[in-house]
Amino acid sequence: MEQIEVVVIGGGQAGLASSRELTGLGVEHVVLERGQIGETWRNRWDSFCLVTPNWSLRLPGRPYDGTDPDGFMPREQIVAYLEQYAASFGSPVQEHVEISSLSARDGDGFVLETTSGSYKARSLVVATGAYQRPHRPHGANTLPISLLQIDVEDYSNPKALPPGRVLIIGSGQSGCQIAEELHGSGREVVLACGRAPWASRRIGDRDIVWWLAESGFFDAPFSTLPGPEARLYANLLTTGHDGGHDLHLRTLRDAGVILAGHFLGSDGVRARFAPDLEETIAWGDARYRQLMDLFQRLVVQRGLKPIEILKPSPFVGPGPAEIDLAGFGAVIFASGFRPDFRSWLAWPNAFDDDGFPLQVDGASTVIPGLYFVGIHFLRKRKSSLLIGVGEDATIVAHDIARTKSRAT
């Protein structure tokens, strides 16, 4: 059994940022990745690109320094960036390693059995990503089994789907982007909508992400949320395709996508939707106004050039109550993800009712030596984002180093 100070699980941005900080502090560690570096990004659909500008890539020790700071990296470039990042400091990543068992030893570290051998570690950093288990809403199992049903992670491109109309259940970033792509390819698309905030891609002469970062929106701590369930709210609707442009429910409706309320279920012949589309739009508009008020305060505080705030156009209409499923080729579930730690970490009391870890600054308050990085609202709104994950990785790495120093 190999004795090692720290095992980091996950070779994405969270795990690599943690590795870089541990390396800088001289803490011996290994990074175990069941696939390849950036595996989650590799599994995105073919045309996937970042919704945040390249300048917002701020991993520790390697902020973006390329020639297109205002561009939006496509999938392959994101993976290449992470591979280069790992190589830049010699991260001890082991790819294609599966963990068969993991146990805590009563305050004496952890034992891992893996396909590459056994490890005993003083500390464990779980960095397996913010998007773990695809969520399907109540009523999903009522759809006819003859209809292709896939999650977002299984979607690749329009041509890979059977002919026919497409029903997308969930209108977060992924659902809206895929709806736009499918509609642009000539498919008729029905989008079952849920609540999501939205804003214009550019406000004044700056990208929306600049405003989110500078106004403190990204730095909002977990304590500012109206309740724990708010961690599962959708991210701001926008897209980086074609240089970045507005993308939300109004733009999709104007393009010809059929909008419906929440998906309720199916009788095997027809899909049913809640009469709540106008309410959903109103919720998004309320979040829009809150954001604009926040940005206006930033303008005043810094003496910036006044910005024009666009007023949302009226939205009237409940959307269809039912749709005949004849002629549909596929259903894509884009209704978000949920934490999945309990399925492989044998400490059920270390997580709350929603499956999120009980922690302070990434350190478990239940299992000594257990840490988490890269989770929604681990510390702040940006904790799972490329612009913010490094901040948490630094805090976790320094806490591990201090604990190691006290132990020796």
Give me the amino acid identity at 123.
S
All structural domains of the chain, each given as residue ranges with its CATH number in brackets, are 2-132+339-407 (3.50.50.60), 135-336 (3.50.50.60)
Please state, in angstroms and rounded to a whole number, the distance separating the CA atoms of residues 364 and 160.
42
- What does the pLDDT read at residue 280? 97
Angle, helices 13-24 vs 75-88, to 10°: value is 20
**3-state SS, residue 191:** strand
Distance CA 279, CA 263 (A): 14
* SS3 at position 25: coil
Strands 270-273 and 322-324: antiparallel
Selection from 351, 383, 336 nearest residue 14 by Cα: 383
H helix and E strand count, the chain: 8, 23
Q: How far apart are CA 234 and CA 318, in angstroms?
A: 21
The predicted pLDDT at position 107 comes to 74
Answer whether 368's CB lies under 8 Å from 186's CB: no
Q: H or E stretch including 64?
A: none
Cβ atoms of residues 353 and 109 within 8 Å: no
DSSP single-letter state for residue 211: H
Vertex 242: Cα angle to 240 and 247 (nearest 5): 55
User: Mind listing the pLDDT tens digit of every residue in the chain (408 residues)?
Assistant: 899 999 999 999 999 999 999 999 999 999 999 999 999 999 999 999 999 999 999 999 999 999 999 999 999 999 999 999 999 999 999 999 999 999 998 778 999 999 999 999 999 999 998 778 899 999 999 999 999 999 999 999 999 999 999 999 999 999 999 999 999 999 999 999 999 999 999 999 999 999 999 999 999 999 998 888 888 888 999 999 999 999 999 999 999 999 999 999 999 999 999 999 999 999 999 999 999 999 999 999 999 999 999 999 999 888 999 999 999 999 999 998 899 999 999 999 999 999 999 999 999 999 999 999 999 999 999 999 999 999 999 999 999 999 988 876
